[in-house]
Structure 1
Amino acid sequence: MQFLVKYGSCDVYVSDKASQEMTAKQNSHPMYRSKPSTEFLRLVHDLDVTKVQKALEFAETMAKQGSRAIQGHLKSMSAFDKAAQAKFAATGQWPVSALNSLPSDGLNPQLTVDQIFDFSPVGMGLQKYFHLGFADPAYLERVQRVGNVLEKIVQHFTTGFKLELLTSSEVNGWNGRAMPARLGDRNGIRDFFGDPQMQYHEPRKYVAEFDRMQLPIDYVAFCERDAVARTIVHEMSHIAALTEDVLYKHESFSKNEAERTTSAGKMMPQGIAVPGRAKPMQPLTGVARDRKANVRSSDLIDSATYVHNADSYAWFSRRMMKDLQPVDFQKFKQA
């Protein structure tokens, strides 16, 4: 394993096998055809160092935008106090002070409070990736949980971790793998939030000095930068809050035709009707899986479980940056 580059408190390393693989590919890939044959480290410093640093910066910015979006959403909710709701009940209008605090400029003030929050950019993201609608009795608590996890993700970009670039075979064909320094049972985020039904049976064990993240080097080098950044946020959620792989987006009924034809898929909700859209929004929905045992259930994942899902945090953060910072999103994507 050789040191490659540093980004903030993150040290990036590359395995010997990955360096050999990239050297072998350098003349066959279109990116490298115009380059003379070089040693691996020169190849890395020509291209991959920049790609790694920009992907990490993109991921950190994505997570920060997701965290800011949630904090703004919670601040908006605080404006809808009892006095504001009383005025709406009496007049059918929300106070101007309350409406001015909303992140959803231009929404019709005649909308119900549920619609005002659910159809804001943040509300749409919460519905799509976490199954969180304003009418949910536990809405405030669960939104705060989402915010807490995103805050932890942001913090972990500055606390020190190792990113290892490996061959695909070294990460078992996955796009990424997280190896937290602390270990516990596979429902770590539930313990993190103190859910009484899912406590650790023994104290967490610290098995390494640093948190580690592993990515395939060709994925970082050749895939779209926003995909790599999203994967980093996904893996960082495992490290920061011990999230679980409840459901990957590509497994969702709305993205996987094979899943829709199953008995569980036929129970897929009809989607959420959104004002101004002809097509309903389909939340992330699928069946439960035991990934360690490679067993697929026929039961739909319970809506409350998505707050534990790593991919939900990754895709939510990406959506918040794309919707709320579109210019910056495109700059990072095309840089």
Structure 2
Amino acid sequence: MTVPDPVDRPLLSVRGLTVARRGLPAARLVDGVSFDLRRGEALGLAGESGCGKTTTALALLGLLPDGLVRAGGEMHLDTEHGPRPLHTLSGRGMRAVRWRRISMAFQGAMNALDPVMRVGDQIREAIRLHRPELDRTAADTRVGTLFEQVRLDPRRARAYPHEFSGGQRQRLMIALALACDPDLIIGDEPTTALDVITQRQILDLLDELRRELGLSVLLITHDLSVLAETCDRIAVMYAGRIVETGSVDEVYRDPRHPYTRRLLASFPAVGGPRELPPPIPGSPPDPAAPEPGCAFAPRCDRADDVCRTSPPAARTAPDGTRTARCHLLPWPATSTPEPAR
């Protein structure tokens, strides 16, 4: 087998990732998710709460909570020795990947930080744990550098989490994610509960760090507008599946999946009519009771009989730049439809 040139290999390649409830294989919270993430690229993973975004990220890191299990799929991380299969690693093997290769800025900074431990000590602890070759002096120097990178005064390393504002705590979470020079940072709703000005500052910081450090970023959000100026590509998730992918410009200018259209239409346009946009009717499906056809069919205003009875295959645009999982598209199918569950 010919090994692709490192320049052409994606940093992260995910194929058919499936996460189910333990003992209930039909209850899939993540259902056959596939995507590639290139070096230096920012990919936005968008969708409603409960669609499987955070579960996908936790599966990548081997941090699934009790009751959930990876039921299938492959995940490969590119290294200097070639693609490394994350799905075959033991717990000890995954610990060598976390923070050194892939790190995560968790949602809810106040809950993720230890309230009775100085923030500098928390970052130093992560550094010493994953890079034991560094002594305390080197770790302290690294903590000061990280504070500067996220635009915080290094002298505040001795402060406690409650002494920082919400935006500053989110910067601390980014500093913690950067602690061991990872190749990929996963940002799980990094702007939740922040005002719009602070949101913009955090997103600008992530973008600046990505370009300065050559990072890849997987940005998880339910707010498509957050991804407009931050990401290169978007993957839209619904009911555990990726239903549309494409560049930011393509997806915003011409969304092809009905769910993506409704998501974008739910945000009011600046300068547009002063009225609430129409909501998406209904609720996402129960993973334990999946629909026999397209999962979005009960909420779709364009669904017909085939949508309600047959799961759609992934389809690719003729130019190969984008995909969508919908029966109503004229594009050729690039995968076989999955059997109804």
TM-score when normalising by structure 2:
0.24
TM-score when normalising by structure 1:
0.25
- Larger radius of gyration, structure 1 or 2? 1
Considering fraction of residues, name the structure with more helix.
Answer: 1
